[in-house]
Structure 1
Amino acid sequence: MSSAKSQTLSEAVAEDHREMYTYYDEYTKASGNPDKQERWARQLTWEVARHAIAEELVVYPMMEKHLGEKGKQLAEHDRADHQEVKNRLYNLEDLSPGTSQHASLLKEIMDHLKPHNDSEENEDLPLLEAAIGREDSQSAAKSFERTKKFVPTRSHPSAPNKPPFETLAGLMAAPMDKLKDAFAKFPSDEEKKEAKESHN
């Protein structure tokens, strides 16, 4: 893993993708323990929601700006993928961890995310980084990481998915999400650290 200082945009995005897979693996390993599954499902939702919106605010506008018509097509396709995931994550909140419906919907979400993530890592980001160069990629990675700190941490499928309206909606939704998160169950920092180490 690169240090945050020298990390490229591709590396920052790929690191998030690996975290999603780690959290999902922990969720599946916790089968039969609804409390533990609830914690990992919440951690996964938190990661996916922040990641998706940071991409929509930082990465996709850059693709549209630097890759012309191809960038616009890729960004639109990626936004549509995100919308599918946001809709399903929103529906997941109504289901109880430990039930087959919850496990089935979360598997659907991950099955949808994997090819989307692969396409970003193998097509979108290499094209973008070839167009902007390493220095701008590192700068974009910092912006991507900063953005994740203030965006919503839960799925809001009806919110706009393009700036500037997404930015405004995010700033309004984020405090309410953070309040809900204060009462939600998450894995401990130690559990997250152990999970990441076991997947490296």
Structure 2
Amino acid sequence: MFARTTVITKHLTLTRLTHPSLIDQSRRFFAASAISMTKISDTIKTDHREIEGWYQKIVNPANEDEQVRAQNQFVWELARHSIGEELVLYPALEKHLEDGKAMADKDRQEHQVVKEMLKKFQNMKPSDSGYLTTITSLMDNLSRHIKEEETEDLVQLENVLEQADNESLVKSFDRTKAFVPTRSHPSAPAKPPFETAVGLMAAPIDHLRDLFRKFPE
């Protein structure tokens, strides 16, 4: 058991150090920090724009290789972002807003639909029938969720958050994304602490498999 844990830990560490996207993510994080990105709303919106950008590269690729790389990056970004929200943002909504629990439960339901669609899409190839239809449908659902989150949830949350709480949420969100699964697992629980436990078990396997996937250079 200890030997297996050691091997997984070493591979997970190697993945974090060598995965180009992980390195880029770290650079973006430190660059954002330098500009004082201390609002959770700004952090969430930055992720949303990243995800939308990779979607555009999937549906408007220069070639199939670029499309595959964009697909893997899209899945990587969206899977981590979704769990980060479920572990950090939604509990914050429940804690700080009077109707936060209802708001968070609605968001979790919307996430579940997206995660199930992402599970299907992440296993598809560009040559598969329904490839573009699947990602377009996924993005339609996700775009509605993003709009509601940015215009309603985050606005209400920012109105009641103290600056120290805001900064703490940003740090927690970024740290959380470094340890969660990088692929969609829709059958996993969507609330902590069970989601945290399942995520910690699934994440090392996802990170190991990422070593053999194509990502943007």
Do Structure 1 and Structure 2 share a fold, with TM-score over 0.5? Answer: yes
Counterpart for residue 77 of structure 2: 47
Q: CA deviation at 1:100?
A: 4.6
Letter in 1 for 2:201: M
Partners of 1:116 and 1:62 in 2: CA distance: 18
Give the letter for the 1:110 counterpart: M
Over residues 13-67 of structure 1, what are the superposed CA-to-partner deviations in whole Å (9 max), with x where a residue is unaligned?
Answer: 0000000111011112216x32221110110010000000000000000111111
2:209 match: 180
Q: Does 1:114 align with 2:136?
A: no
Report deviation, 1:136: 1.3
Query: Does the 8 A contact of 2:72 with 2:122 survive in 1?
Result: no
Contact 2:108 2:190 in 1 (8 A): yes
Distance, in Å, in 2 between the alignment partners of 1:97 and 1:30 is 11
How many residue pairs get matched? 186
Q: After TM superposition, give the deviation of residue 128 of structure 1 in Å.
A: 1.0
Q: Which amino acid aligns with 2:195?
A: E
Give 1:130's aligned residue.
159
For 1:92-114, what per-residue CA distance to the aligned partner results, in whole angstroms no more than 9, with x for missing partners?
13321144511110111111111
Pick aligned residue for 1:30 from 49, 61, 75 = 61
Give 1:48's aligned amino acid: L
Provide the rounded CA distance (Å) in 1 between the counterparts of 2:170 and 2:129. Answer: 38
Structure 1 counterpart of 2:162, one-letter code: G
Q: 1:62 aligns with which of 72, 77, 92?
A: 92
Which region of structure 1 is more displaced relative to structure 2, 85-94 or 15-24? 85-94
Q: TM-score, normalised by structure 1?
A: 0.88
For 2:59 and 2:123, how far apart are their aligned partners in 1?
19
Quote the Cα distance in structure 2 between the aligned partners of 1:26 and 1:100.
19
| 1:114-153 deviation digits (Å, cap 9, x = unpaired) | 1111111111011112112233112211111111000000
Distance 2:82 2:163 in 1: 22
* RMSD of equivalent CA atoms: 1.6
Unaligned runs of 5+ in 2: 1-27
Equivalent residue for 1:76, pick from 97, 105, 112: 105
Contact between 1:4 and 1:142, CA under 8 Å: does it hold in 2?
Answer: no
TM-score (norm 2): 0.82
Q: Distance in 2 between matches of 1:183 and 1:97?
A: 18
Counterpart of 1:95 in structure 2 is: 124
For the 8 Å contact 1:35–1:97, the answer to whether it is kept is no
